[in-house]
Structure formats: C-alpha cells, structure tokens
Structure 1
Amino acid sequence: MSITRTSPGRRAASTARGPGGRWWALAALTISILVVALDSNVLVTALPTLSLKLDASTSQLQWITVGYTLASAGLLLPAGKLGDRFGRRATLLIGLLLFGASSITASQVTTAGELIATRVLMGAGGAMIMPMALAVLPVLFPEPAERGRAVAVTAIGTMLGLPLGPLLAGWLLNHFAWGSIFLINGPVVVLGLIGVVLWVPESKDPSASRVDWSGALLSAAGVTALVYGMIEQPIRGWDAPVQGGLIGGGALLACFLVRQLRADSPLINLSLFASRGFTWGSAAFAVTSFALSGAQFVLTPYLQVVQGSDAQGTGLRLLPLIAAMLVGAALGEKVLAPRLGPRVLIPLGMLVSAAGLGVLTRALAGGGYGLAALALIVFGFGLGLVLPLSVDTVLASLPAEQSGVGNAMSRTLQGIGVVFGSAVLGSVLNGGYRAQLTGTLRTLPDTATSPARSGVAGAHDAARHLSATDGRQLIHAADHAYVHGMTQAASLTAGLLAVCALLVVALLPGRRRDHRDPLAPSVTPTGG
C-alpha cells in the first residue's frame, strides 16, 4: 500500500460529512474488523461440534480451518492493490457483502465439503475487509495524534475477538444449532455496511500499479498444493496425489519467486529480505503465528472431548491463553522492550512459549485442567512478548515510505504461518493418533473402525453404539491416542520455536526499535 500524504483537498473530502462523521466512520470500520476477528476465533471452540454434526474427519476439520486462511492469505495482497486502484470503500463494501452472504450460507450447509467451500468464500471476503478498513484511516485522520487514537480503537476491535470468540461460540453451541456461530455474523455485517455507506469516504491511490494476477495465482496454487499434501499424508500415505501436492507445490512457489523477480509490478518486493531486521522479525512473526494456530487446533478437542467439557466451558478454559497474551504484550511494550530490545526479548518470548508447550507434553488423558491451564498461561505469555514486538521490528527496519509494503509482507507471512500451523500440526496429531489407535481398532466391530479413525470425537460417538465394555475400551484408547498425537505436535512446535529463537539471537540486528509515526506499526497493508 502506498500511503499518500493527505492534501487539503482530500482532507476536506474526508471530513465532508462533518468532523463527528469521521468518528462514526471509525466505528463502522471497527465493527467491520471485529466481525472478522470474532469469526476467526469462534471456529476454534466449534471444531468438536462440527466433527459430530457434519461427520467431519480430522483432515476435514483442518480444511474447514485452513480453507479460510488460505483464501485470506492468498488474496490479501491482490485485494489490497485492487482497493488502492479502484477504491478502498468500494472494495470494503464488496468484502463485507461477500463475508456476510457466505456466513449465512455456511450456517445452512449439511456437509463438511459444503462448509469448506463457504469458508473459502468467507476468507476471500476477510481478505478485502481487514486491509481496506485500516487503509481508510489516513484519509479520515490525516493528523498524527488523531490517527494514533483511531489506530488504537481499531486495535481494540481486533483484540476483543480473542476472548469474545470462544465465549460466544460456546454459548451459542449450548443454546442454539451449530449454524448459529456463522449466522450471528449477519447482523454485525449489516451494521458495518450501513456505517460504511453513510460515513466512510471513497479514496484511491492514483499511482497504484496493476495487480500481478499471475503471481497471485502461482502463490495461492503453490501453498494450497503443499497444504493438501501435508493434510492428506497421514490418511493416504505417500501415494501419487500426496507426492504430487508436495513436489508440485514447491515447484509452483519456486516459479512464483522467479516471477516476482522479473515482473514489472510484483506482488512482493523481495529486496526487502536484504534487511536482517525485516527477515528475522518476519520469521519470528510467522513462526509464533504457526505455533498459536496449531496449538488452538490441537487443544480444543483435548479440552472438549478428552476432558469432557462442553463448548461454553471450552471457551472459558481458553481464556488463560488470551489473558496471558494480553499481559505479555502490555508488559513487553511498557517494561521489557525498552530495556532489553527486540534481539533479546523476541527469542526470550519464543523460549517461554516453547516451555509452555513442554508443560503441555506432560498432560494426561485422565488428568485435570490444572496442567493444561499452566501450559496455556506460559505459552500465551511468551506469544504476547513476541507478536507485537516482531511486527514493530519489521517496520522499524524499513524506511518510512516502505512501511506499508513491509506490513503487507509481514501480514501475508503471518497468514501463511497460520495455514501451515493448522496443516502441519494437525497432520502430526492425526498421524500419531492413528498409529497409537491401530491395535485397539483390530478388536472392535467394523462399524466403529471408520468413525474412530476419523478423530477422537468420532471415536466417542462410535462408542455410544457399542457394548459397555467395548465402548469404554474405545474411549480409553482414543483419549490416550489423542494425547499421544498432541504431545508429538507440542514437541515439534516447541523445537521449532527454540530453533527460531537461536537464529533470531544470532542474526537479528542489535539496535533498539525506533519510534515512528504512530500509524506505521499498525497499518494493515493494501499491497505493494
């Protein structure tokens, strides 16, 4: 995104509906951001319910999660460029309409495949909403002081989605049909649409370049093929489609990089990676996003199915993770970062999160919530130290005029980290679960084998149709198999965090952060 300094004429246009209208516009933008943040976190609590209601396997649950993020990450940069070129307000309205319509459709589907398809459409809408909502802020608030306040308000909209999403999902699932977790997006989207139409002015970047659709297609296809191979390998083995996905995905991404080096108007500026601050700040951001996404995917069935909590209780049990993240972010920003600097604090936070995952590896199928709560607190506190500081490090490593494209890249890498977190750790979990359960399945009737292999929720459901003895045996074996797979996933993630921490210590520049225009660290970009 190119943030053009607002001229007096544009400034007048941005406040044409009166000074108070700008704050109503900000409210509309914050609502637009909140609906995306809520939806992203609502689904975490709902996965075990979806497994039962839609007869969804573990791999299908991964695609329900990953489908949204794939579409969002793949379309973030091209959507941003479209907004810059054809109008940010118009693009935001299209994104809200698509997100709302696909949410309502998702609430009515009857199969896992249909839900995956609607989640992809929701991801496409989200890719338009998030960058466009924040790209309008420089037009509405050209003065740095007001702009800082506006950015803080939108940040609150994002943060509210973290605790409210799981709690809202739990309450809805306990009192209404599962589709209500998507249907609830409708009224919020309507409020956002009304506010944007009434108060948000149109803005464009007259110097915006054309969209590199070939590059966008190559990157989306490459990532999708790789994720397909990772998700399907535990189920299909190393058959031709899996090998084709992994090899073909890698080849497509290589072609994408070559395309970016030669294109007149590339989606990404690869020269940014010449900066060690940008490279390793981005790596820390992506790896911690990988860890958070994967941990949420793995932990929710453990809390809800293995430990027997209902959906609302699962949302409550995830609150220590969210609270610890917020405390870590506040303490890191106010106290630790000014004293230690990013080169020390970022790897320290990653090691703290790795320690939290180490605690999680000690969890037992028949154990209580206390150990899991401790793991969530330690893990979340470390993430809170890393995530905001890594973004700030990326942007502080760039000249002010490149802050938009730098934020674009960091957000895209975060999206890729989220995609691979659910895909890789879900596959590790699935492989460990199936391997551990194989012996037990040989002793059970054929009718129980397929649902039990699909996941721990399916095993619990199948146990209801068996004799008391066989049912108890299956539940005991499935719970222990799930914890076995969860331990493998947690160990892998802890190791990845530790390795990345060592690389950051060695390669991240040692200078402290600079303090720029308050907009720069917080703008979600709209493309290169």
Structure 2
Amino acid sequence: MRIRGRASQTGEPSLRRSLVLATLCLSLLVVSVDNTILNIALPALVRQLHATDSQLQWIVDSYAVVFGGLLLTAGGLGDRFGRKPVFLAGLLVFGAGSAGSAFAGSVGVLVASRAVMGVGAAGVMPATLSILMDVYRDPGPRARAVGLWSATTGLGIAIGPIAGGWLLSRYWWGSVFLVNVPIVVLGVAAALLLVPDSRDPEHRRADVLGVVLSVAGMSALLWAVIEIPQRGWTSPAVLGVGAVAAGLLAAFVLAERRAPEPMIVLGPFRDRRFSVAMTAVAFAVFTLMGAMFLLTQYLQFALGYSAFAAGIRILPVAGVLAVAAPLSTVLDRLAGTKAVVAAALALIGAGLWLASGTTPADGFPHLLPALLLLGCGAGLAVAPGTAAVLGALPRERAGVGSGTNGTALQVGGALGVAVLGAVLSGRYQGRMSALLAGHAMPEPARRAITGSLGGALAVAQQAGGALGTQLAAVARVAFVDGMGLAFGAAAVVAFAAAGLVLAALPSRSRSAPSRSAPSGPASGESGSVPTSAEDPRIPDPRRSRAATPPAS
C-alpha cells in the first residue's frame, strides 16, 4: 500500500506519517482512558459487587500496578524484537483483558482481568512513543508529534469519566470495558497496514536479571502503597513488603550498572533535566489521577449526580487539558521547559488548594474553577516534561526511554489513587468509627458504614426515616472532610514539585546553535542544541552503526 505525500527524512510520506500518528494515538487513547473510565462506575461496583473502599482501590490500581511494573520490560522487548510486534501483541492482550473484565462476576475476577489489561497496556504505551520517535526524526515535526502524543495521554485520563458516564446511562457497568474491544480491532487492522517496524540495530542481549528485578521491585512497591489504607502505615506486612521492594530496586540499579548490555541506560539519570522532568511529570499525574478518583465519587455519592451527569461535570478538565497540551509545546519554545513545567505544577496546586475548601453545602459551581486550573496545569506539564526525558536517550533506545517515562506516569497515577485514597479513608473511617462508638448494630452494617460512603448510604436507605437521613448526612460530611484533607495534601505535593523544578531543572541553553545542527528547537527545550539523541544527523559515539530506517 503506497500513500502519496511529501517524503520526510525517514522516507515515510507525510500523509502516511499522519495516519501512523493517528493509529498510535487511537491505541494510546484507549489504554489511557482505562486509567479513569472505571472511576465513574465505582458506585455501581459498590452496589452490585459490594466492594469496599480498599477493594475499589485495588480494582482501580491493579491495572496501574501491572502496567507500571512491566513498562520497562515491554520497552526493552520492543527495542530488541521489534516495536510493531510488541505493539500488536499488547493490543490483543489488552482486548482480551477488557472482555474478561466486562463479564467479571466478583471483585477478585475483576481485579485479575484488570491486571491482564495492564499487561497489554504495558506493551502498547512504550511502543507508540518509540515508533513515533522513529517515524518523526526531524526535531520540529517530532516535537509537534510528541505534543499530540502527550495530549492524548492526558486527554484519555480526563475523558474516561465522561465516556464511562455515557455508557453507564445506557448499559451495565461492564460496558466501560467491552467498548475497548472494537477499538482494539480497529487499531490492530490499522497497525498491520500502516505502522512501520523498528528496533535497536545493535541487537542487545536480553537482560533477564534486570527484567526480573524491575518487575518484582515495582510490583512490591505498588502493593505496599496500595495496602496502606487497609493495613495501616505501620503494618508489618506493609513495612516488610516495602523493605523488600527497596531491596529489589536497589539490586536492580546495581545489576544495571554492572550489566554489559543493561535494559535501561542509567547515565541519563545523572542529567538533572532527565530526572527532574520525569519527577515533575509523575507528580502531575499523581495529582490528576488522585483527584479523578475522589471527584467521581464526590459528584455521585455526595452531590447525588447520575453517572452520566457526573461525567459531564468532569468535561472542563478534558476540554482545558486538550487545549493546553498542544499549546505547551509553543510555550516551551518561548519560555523554556523550566518555566512552563513549574507554572503548570503551580496551577495544579492552586486548583487543588481551592478544591480543598469544599464544604458539604457547596455545589458543583464551587469546584468548577478548581477543575479548570487542574486541567490546564496537567495539560501544560506532560508534553514538555516528556520531551525533556526523551531528549536524553538515542533514538534506537526509545523503547526503554518511553518505558521509563511511562513507568513514571503509571507509578505517579497509582500512588495518587493510593495516597489520596488513604488520606480520605483514614479521615472518613476515623469520623464514622467515633460516631458509631457505643451504638449497638449488626457487624455487617458497621463494616459497610465505615468501609465506604457508598456502603453508609446503602445502610441509610435501608434504615429509612429520620435515622437514615441523619446517617446519610453525617457520612457525607465525613467524606467531604476527608476529601478536603486529601486535596490539601495533594496541593502541598504540587507546590513542592514546582519548587523542585525551579531549583533543580536546568534552564534552557543560551549557547549558539551548532552549524551542524538545525537552528530550530530540539525536542523539549527551546533554544538548546540538538544532541545525537534528538537529531539522527549528528553522529553518536555510543552507536556502533547508524539506525536503520523503518520499513514502510
């Protein structure tokens, strides 16, 4: 199949490159949406599967745990065996996990199916970015393509509740997963026809020890964090698994330093532009994912909106984010990554601080300015941060680079749900336990009331009368109080991250462009001189031979 268009440096016609980008973004959108689409269905899961707060966090985070734990491995496999095969395999596994989740009849089955979806998503996300980096080799078009990729990532997170609400207004809760299947089929068909294959031309050997240590360490770390709300910060299990995670990750770093052909290049982590930018992106997603987890429950449980009405009220986040993400690349060229990312995190912090003042008497209009600030900040942060991360690696190691960046996104999101959920649950359970102290009631009812706001509202509905009304009102007050505390804590994190960026992220280079390099901006930092990782025309001493162009 030949599509005519102006040829680029890669040999791919411009129209074909655009179709490849559209295919990659569609596939990325579906795996990004699944980070948040389930949030809008949480009340339905409480009612139909009788899930507790802890189980809700596991249902949401089981996807992120496996997704984040396997991203580095999947990126390395794509570099070695080909990005296109890994991309296609990831889509197929993701589709199978989606079908299993749609028809899950228990919390355990749903958690397991969501984990299978995470396996597939881990194959898709790094492959999309590494294929993009290989197809778009000119710095200018590549920066715009990365901006669209970043916008798709953030947009998927933001529109998940809207899509889920629309589906739940017409179908059962499993429809939020079943809708993925036809999109996966379309993505596979388009990829087979359009997407070129590429790989690391040096044919590095598989780093088996690195794979095992990275997956085990990351999974243990996320398990410990997710279990904190249920078991407590000082639980022997949490502390023990956390210590094991720290040991495994330390062993991973040592093994990668000594490995002749490591799965991840550790050198860029000494570059503050790489490490600080990655940290900033992780904090941005930490706040966005955590906020979505809390807001979708608040809108339905506390304010009484339907799933679709709640999803519509998340639309301002998606709309502002969709505008801000492409705009961030322009601002990056004008002001530099440091200024843009710091300002973005400050906007996120301001929005969360405003939301932390929400009271039970406040309605949605009080939250609207906070949502606008949150969406704008998240949209401005991701693209420049991602471009700065990728600029530190040679193009043929783009799979590992995108896997490292994707791991930061997923770990940040999982920690956001777990940490903010822990703060909310701790305050809510403390308030409700104190209220129920000294009152005789069946133990199942007590567990339901303290387990989640949804459980308390269900008990209140069964009790009826003045007692039920009073219980529902008190439970909503306790939930909103816990949500405000969680938002306040997230705001502090966002402001601290903005300070870190201002203090540690290097400013853009003031040096004059090299004659051998294009005068335009490189990927991510306005005015900086492109390195070999950013422009394939500049020789890279780390390469034994030039990268081969992708097959058409």
Same fold? TM cut 0.5: yes
Q: Which residue of 1 aligns with 2:248?
A: 252
Partner of residue 521, structure 2:
515
Match of 2:462 among 424, 443, 465: 465
Write the distance in 1 (CA, Å) between the matches of 2:387 and 2:111.
34
Does the residue aligned with 2:262 lie in a helix, a strand or coil? coil
Q: 1:65 to 1:128 in 2, by over 3 A?
A: same
Q: 2:108 aligns with which of 113, 116, 132?
A: 113
What letter matches 2:61 in structure 1? V
Q: 1:359 aligns with which of 332, 354, 362?
A: 354
Kept in 2: contact 1:305–1:456 (CA 8 A): yes
- Structure 2 partner of 1:377: 372
Q: Which residue of 1 aligns with 2:225?
A: 230
Report the alpha carbon displacement of residue 379 of structure 1 after superposing the two structures with TM.
2.3
CA shift, 1:401, in A, is 7.3
- Residues 38-77 of structure 1: pairs in structure 2 closer than 5 A: 38-77=33-72
Q: Measured at CA, do residues 353 and 160 of structure 1 come closer, stay the same or move farther in structure 2, by a change above 3 Å? A: closer
Is 1:195 matched up with 2:190? Answer: yes
- Measured after TM superposition, the shift of residue 280 of structure 1 is 1.4
Q: Distance in 2 between matches of 1:142 and 1:275?
A: 23
User: After superposition, what is the alpha-carbon deviation per residue over 1:372-427, rounded to whole angstroms, capped at 9, x for unaligned?
Assistant: 11211122222233222222333456677776654443322222111211111111
Partner of residue 264, structure 2? 268
Give the one of 173, 179, 187 matched to 2:168.
Answer: 173
Q: CA deviation at 1:268?
A: 2.3
Partner of 1:92: 87
Aligned-pair identity in percent equals: 37
Alignment of 1:220-369 (within 5 A): 220-237=215-232, 238-335=234-331, 337-369=332-364
Structural mapping, 1:148-159, within 5 Å: 158=153
CA distance in 2, matches of 1:224, 1:131: 18
> How far apart, CA to CA, are the structure 2 residues paired with 1:483 and 1:472?
17
In 1, the alpha carbon distance for the partners of 2:285 and 2:363 equals: 27
1:164 CA displacement: 4.1
* Post-superposition offset of 1:67: 1.1
Change (3 A) 1:24 1:231: closer
- TM-superposition CA deviations, 1:44-101 (whole Å, max 9, x none): 3222222222211111111112111121111112112222222322222211111111
Q: Which letter does structure 1 place at the counterpart of 2:522? A: R
Alpha carbons of structure 1 residues 20 and 398: separation in structure 2 relative to 1, 3 Å: closer
User: Counterpart of 1:40 in 2: which secondary structure?
Assistant: coil
Structure 1 residue 467, shift from structure 2 partner:
3.4
Q: 1:480 maps to which residue?
A: 477
1:500 aligns with 2:506: no
Please list every run of 5 or more consecutive structure 1 residues that lacks an aligned counterpart in the other structure.
1-7, 523-528
**Most deviating of 25-34 and 271-280:** 25-34
Which amino acid is the alignment partner of residue 502 of structure 1? G
| Residue 235 (structure 1) shift | 2.6
Tell me the CA shift for residue 140 of structure 1: 5.6
Q: Does 1:102 align with 2:97?
A: yes
Greater mean alpha carbon deviation, residues 220-229 or residues 491-500:
220-229
Distance 2:239 2:186 in 1: 46
Contact 1:278 1:398 (8 Å CA) reproduced: no
Deviation at 1:125, TM superposition (A): 0.3
Q: Which amino acid aligns with 1:274?
A: R
Where in structure 2 are there 5+ consecutive unaligned residues?
1-6, 511-519, 525-529, 536-552
Say which SS state the counterpart of residue 175 (structure 1) adopts: coil
Q: Offset at 1:166? A: 2.1
CA contact (8 A) 2:148 2:325 kept: no
1:429 to 2:424 alignment: yes
TM-score for the superposition, normalised by structure 1? 0.87
Deviations 1:138-181 (A, max 9, x none): 66667778767766765665465355432221111111111011
Q: CA deviation at 1:339?
A: 4.6
Residue deviations 1:103-143, cap 9 Å, x none? 01101111111111111110110111122234334666677
More displaced 10-residue stretch of structure 1: 395-404 or 250-259: 395-404
TM-score normalised by L of structure 2: 0.83
Name 2:75's counterpart in structure 1.
80
Deviation at 1:236, TM superposition (A): 2.8
Shifted more, 416-425 versus 510-519: the winner is: 510-519
Task: Report how far residue 266 of structure 1 moved.
Answer: 2.3
Moved more, 480-489 or 192-201: 192-201
Aligned partners of 2:36 and 2:292 also within 8 Å: no
**SS where residue 465 of structure 1 aligns?**
helix
Structure 1 stretch displaced more, 224-233 or 358-367: 224-233
Distance 1:212 1:471, change over 3 A: farther
Counterpart in 1 of 2:539? none
Q: Secondary structure at the match of 2:36?
A: helix
**Alpha carbons of structure 1 residues 516 and 348: separation in structure 2 relative to 1, 3 Å:** closer
Taking the aligned partners of 2:505 and 2:86, their CA distance within structure 1 comes to 37
Q: CA deviation at 1:354?
A: 1.2
Report what 2:408 is aligned to. Answer: 413
Distance 1:139 1:228, change over 3 A: closer
Tell me how many residue pairs correspond in the alignment.
509
Equivalent pair of 1:71/1:120 in contact (CA under 8 Å): yes
The farther-off stretch of 153-162 and 111-120 is 153-162
